[in-house]
């Protein structure tokens, strides 16, 4: 509006300009503007000084008339029958929330229209707004402090996580928070309402609490040059009161729930379950690990248990809810097998040197279409319940592995919480010690952990001799193969092989596996062979290498005669050519 005034160039210089502003029953500002300055030759100038304001400022809040609002009706303070009684989606009909304030000059009210919503919140026309009645609080610099808070009826106690969800809108410069407080008003937990998350909905979770508590929503600060404004709607509360009958405990995650989480899509499966569990890949198998099988996934990634196919991820157990029921005792970080369709995967231990009257216990939870078992020394024990513990006894004087195996007939989840042992177990060896035991060999009357294989016609076995692993290819066979054990390197290493070969045209190849085409293998020695003396050949093993095959090949016996190969030793060194195995 433009009030009555007489302030123009016709007045004398230094003349007092008087403006009469009629009564205004809502917040307003005064603006002074100099305009229509037309002297283009020397310019124009307006000087204002000694601004004085005389008037009576309203002592009554102007905000009650906003949004055609009404006061929040008082609620019946009878005991809650169920947690959802605290939901407040129709504030004028059934709402067990009220004002907690020392003054009624500025209080939470029920808005019934969105007239002037854009002006009040200073937003653009295409931004959202409530679709039904809503609760709001508006405050300015004259509002008594502390500001009124919207407070729920007291909750006697809860037996499960309580969730409060709502939509909210805040005027720029307004700061607000949601809190759970005890009967004395001491905060149990608080969460700030972030402008970027508006309108939501957002959900605030509070763990089960055995004492009375209540929720509060309020403004804590605002831009003092303007006013603060917070509106909320679709306020819902879910959970279980201590006095509320608990639904049947369901400890299985059914296929429809898994499908709804996965959307039956490989792309969405990962991201949806990542959201539920906060999944991540963990530290991997190339890090130091505890030298026992004991594993508490709530505290550690447990790199002594290795997954090679990427099916196992690590995350946080979701809170117990009707959609995703969680048995008691399952919380914190866990290992998760996330499987689609008919899938098999496992967690394999590092090599266990020995055990005497040992026992291994695995705490697990699985969905309806999942199977889980623990295996060691060619024996397995199945987990037949939807959650619980499976155990296996082990005694062995020779090294062995333990595997936790999961499989599925459909989309499924298997969760591993903890692995514990009892009895006597030899300490696990470090990754360096283990790979040294596996790959280092002198080959004197032994193959150590290597084996010779006959895979196809033309293959002949390698023999154990005092002179090493030996074979002669004389036309009756053209190939001999020595296969390494499966191993895990701690870091990139150099494989050093001492060997001899007697005949021109013979070749020594290092291949990924026994079936590899020779063109895909690395030539370590030959075919240009000038003498049969011992020599060392080296090959760099990448950290991802897990096995190799040493192929001895001679298909030129007709031209150059038979070829004799002797493998004398295999050693490992670091990439800096330092000793790795002692």
What is the β-pairing status of strands 563-574 and 493-501?
A: antiparallel
CA angle, residues 259, 265, 269, in degrees to nearest 5: 70
Would you state the structure tokens that stand for residue 267, as one six-digit string?
A: 């792309």
Cα–Cα distances in angstroms (integers) from residue 23 to residues 27, 56, 61, 227, 454, in the given order: 11, 9, 14, 20, 104
- What is the helix (H) or strand (E) element at residue 549, kind and residue range? strand 549-553
Looking at the fold, whether 393 and 483 belong to one and the same domain comes out as no
Cis peptide bond N-terminal to 73, omega within 30:
no
Nearest 5°: phi and psi at 558?
A: -65, -40
Q: Number of folded domains in the chain?
A: 3
Residue 545 lies in a domain: yes
Which residue segment(s) compose the domain that 150 sits in?
63-238
* Cα 316 versus chain centre, distance: 7
* 261 occurs within a structural domain: yes
Whether 337 maps to a domain, the answer reads: yes
* Whether residue 295 sits in one domain with residue 366: yes
Domain assignment present for 12: no
pLDDT digits (tens, 9 = 90+) for 15-26: 778 888 888 766
The residue among 548, 525, 522 whose CA lies nearest residue 435 is: 548
**Torsion angles phi and psi, residue 266, rounded to 5:** -60, -40
Which runs of E-coded beta strand occur in 119-197?
134-139, 149-152, 162-170, 175-182, 187-193
In the listed set 427, 448, 470, which residue is the last one of a domain according to the structure?
427
DSSP 337-406: EEE-SS-EEEEEEPPB--EEEEEEEEEEEE-TTEEEEEEETTEEEEE-SSEEEEEEEEEESS-B-EEEEE
Per the CB < 8 A criterion, the answer to whether 468 and 566 are in contact is yes
Please check whether residues 384 and 274 belong to one and the same domain. yes
Considering the domain architecture, whether residues 281 and 170 belong to the same structural domain is answered as no
Same-domain pairing of 422 and 454: no
The DSSP symbol for 273 reads: H
Shared-domain flag, residues 421 and 447: no
Token pair, residue 514, equals 């026994």
CA distance 362 to 484: 31
Looking at residue 287, what is its pLDDT? 76
- Based on the fold, state whether residues 449 and 420 are members of the same structural domain: no
Residues 453 and 385 in one domain: no
**Contact criterion met (CB below 8 Å) for 421 and 361:** yes
* CB burial string 159-177: b at 16+ within 10 A, e below: bbbbbbbbbbbbbebbbbb
Report the CATH number at residue 282: 2.60.120.260
What is the reported pTM? 0.54
My answer on whether 302 and 154 are in the same domain is: no
| Domain annotation covers residue 3 | no
336: DSSP letter? E
Residues 446 and 563 in one domain: yes
Domain boundary among 427, 445, 475: 427
Record the tokens describing residue 260, joined without a space.
Answer: 């709804």
Give the pLDDT of residue 471.
92
Q: Rounded to whole angstroms, how far apart are CA atoms 258 and 269?
A: 9
In this structure, the answer to whether residues 131 and 182 fall within a common structural domain is: yes
Q: For residue 405, is it within any domain?
A: yes
179, 203, 238 — which closes off a domain?
238
Q: Report the chain (582 residues): mean pLDDT per 10 consecutive residues.
A: 70 75 75 72 75 74 75 85 90 87 77 85 74 89 85 90 90 91 87 86 85 92 88 91 70 46 37 61 74 88 86 77 65 81 86 93 87 92 90 93 89 87 92 90 92 90 92 87 89 92 91 84 88 90 89 88 92 88 84
Is 112 inside a domain boundary? yes
Q: Are 313 and 336 in contact (CB under 8 A)?
A: yes
- Name which of 217, 336, 241 is nearest 279 in CA terms: 336
pLDDT, one tens digit per residue, over 113-135 is 888 888 888 776 567 888 888 99
Would you state the structure tokens that stand for residue 576, as one six-digit string? 């800096």
Instruction: Give dist(CA 312, CA 303) in Å, integer.
Output: 12
CATH of the domain at 88: 2.60.120.200
Residue 100 CA to residue 146 CA, distance in Å, equals 10
Establish if 367 belongs to a structural domain.
yes
Same-domain pairing of 470 and 334: no
The closest of 544, 448, 570 to 490, measured between CA atoms, is 544
């Amino acid at each position: 509006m433009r009030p009555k005034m007489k302030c123009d160039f016709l007045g004398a210089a230094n003349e007092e300009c008087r403006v009469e502003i009629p009564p205004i029953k809502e917040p307003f500002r005064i603006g002074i503007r100099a305009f229509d300055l037309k002297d283009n030759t020397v310019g124009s100038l307006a000087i204002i000084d000694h601004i004085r304001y005389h008037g009576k400022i309203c002592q009554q809040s102007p905000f009650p008339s906003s949004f055609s609002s009404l006061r929040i009706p008082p609620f019946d303070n009878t005991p809650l029958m169920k947690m959802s009684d605290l939901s407040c989606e129709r504030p004028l009909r059934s709402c067990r929330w009220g004002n907690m304030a020392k003054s009624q000059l500025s209080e939470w009210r029920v808005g019934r229209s969105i007239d002037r919503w854009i002006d009040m919140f200073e937003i653009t026309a295409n931004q959202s707004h409530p679709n039904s009645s809503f609760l709001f609080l508006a405050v300015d610099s004259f509002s008594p402090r502390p500001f009124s808070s919207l407070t729920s009826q007291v909750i006697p106690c809860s037996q499960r996580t309580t969730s409060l969800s709502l939509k909210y809108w805040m005027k720029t410069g307004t700061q607000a928070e949601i809190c759970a407080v005890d009967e004395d008003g001491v905060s149990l937990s608080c969460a700030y309402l972030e402008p970027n998350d508006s309108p939501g909905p957002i959900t605030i979770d509070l763990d089960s609490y055995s004492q009375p508590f209540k929720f509060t929503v309020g403004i804590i600060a605002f831009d003092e040059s303007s006013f603060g404004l917070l509106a909320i709607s679709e306020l819902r509360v879910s959970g279980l009161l201590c006095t509320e009958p608990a639904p049947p405990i369901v400890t299985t995650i059914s296929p429809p729930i898994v499908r709804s989480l996965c959307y039956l899509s490989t792309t969405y499966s990962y991201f949806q379950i990542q959201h539920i569990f906060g999944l991540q890949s963990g530290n991997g198998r190339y890090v130091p690990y505890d030298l026992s099988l004991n594993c508490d996934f709530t505290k550690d990634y447990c790199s002594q248990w290795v997954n090679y196919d990427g099916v196992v991820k690590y995350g946080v157990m979701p809170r117990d809810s009707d959609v995703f029921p969680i048995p008691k005792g399952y919380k914190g970080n866990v290992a998760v097998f996330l499987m689609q369709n008919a899938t098999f995967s496992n967690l394999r231990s590092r090599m266990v040197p020995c055990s005497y009257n040992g026992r291994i216990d695995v705490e697990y939870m699985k969905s309806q279409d999942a199977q889980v078992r623990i295996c060691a020394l060619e024996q397995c024990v199945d987990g037949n319940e939807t959650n619980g513990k499976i155990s296996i006894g082990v005694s062995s004087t020779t090294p062995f592995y333990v595997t936790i195996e999961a499989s599925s007939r459909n989309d499924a989840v298997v969760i591993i919480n903890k692995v514990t042992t009892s009895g006597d177990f030899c300490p696990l060896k470090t990754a360096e010690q283990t790979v040294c035991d596996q790959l280092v060999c002198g080959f004197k009357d032994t193959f150590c952990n290597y084996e010779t294989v006959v895979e196809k016609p033309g293959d002949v076995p390698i023999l154990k001799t005092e002179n090493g692993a030996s074979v002669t290819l004389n036309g009756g066979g053209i190939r001999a193969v020595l296969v390494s054990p499966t191993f895990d390197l701690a870091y990139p290493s150099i494989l050093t092989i001492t060997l001899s070969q007697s005949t021109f045209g013979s070749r020594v190849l290092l291949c990924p596996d026994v079936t590899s085409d020779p063109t895909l293998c690395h030539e370590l020695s030959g075919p240009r062979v000038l003498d049969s003396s011992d020599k060392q050949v080296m090959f760099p093993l990448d950290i991802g290498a897990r096995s190799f095959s040493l192929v001895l090949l001679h298909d030129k016996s007709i031209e150059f005669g038979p070829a004799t190969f002797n493998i004398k030793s295999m050693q490992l060194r670091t990439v800096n050519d330092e000793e790795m195995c002692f």
